[in-house]
Amino acid sequence: MSSTDKAEIIRAIFAAYLANDRHRVEAAFTDDFHFTSPYDDDLDKPTYFARCWRDSGWIASHELERIFVEGDEAFVTYRCAARDGNSFRNTEFFAFDGDRVKRIDVYFGATYKDGKFVKMNAPAA
């Protein structure tokens, strides 16, 4: 599978998320999929969907800014604008197994409200 194909899979996952198409997102993940973020440590697929899936109606828009693919791994950086005026930029690391995603690790970027930086509080330890 080419780098272009993997980039297209990533674009399709983001489009499916924005369309609230959980079935398409689930189908893009392997059965042993895992997810990590600053708030979630190595969640399995069922736990990811139970804990992290939410209606995307809160999103006004998102823009995939960069996708870098090397072998079976990729990084994507995107900007998301929420309907409440907040926006943020995150980077996600994708690990593929064939044409499906085996792992996603999310790295949070800064948050803005109406174009102004919003200082975030660190989660309690």
Query: Using one digit for the tens of pLDDT, what is the confidence trace for 27-46?
Result: 999 999 999 998 899 999 99
Residue 124 has a pLDDT of 56
CATH of the domain at 107: 3.10.450.50
Q: How far is CA 64 from CA 52, 90, 91, in A?
A: 20, 10, 10
- 124 in a domain, yes or no? no
Q: Where in the sequence is the domain holding 83, given as residue range(s)? A: 3-118
> What total number of domains does the chain contain?
1
pLDDT tens digits along 59-70? 999 899 999 999
Q: Is residue 125 included in any domain, yes or no?
A: no
Residue 4 and residue 102: Cα distance in Å, rounded? 18
Distance from CA of residue 46 to its chain's centroid?
16
Q: What is the pLDDT of residue 77?
A: 97
Q: Does some domain include residue 72?
A: yes
Beta strand pairing call for 29-37 and 100-113 = parallel
Quick check: is 110 in a domain? Answer: yes
Rounded to the nearest 10°, the torsion over CA 3, 105, 108, 55 is 90
Per-residue pLDDT, 118:
85
Could you give phi then psi for residue 28, rounded to 5 degrees?
A: -80, -10
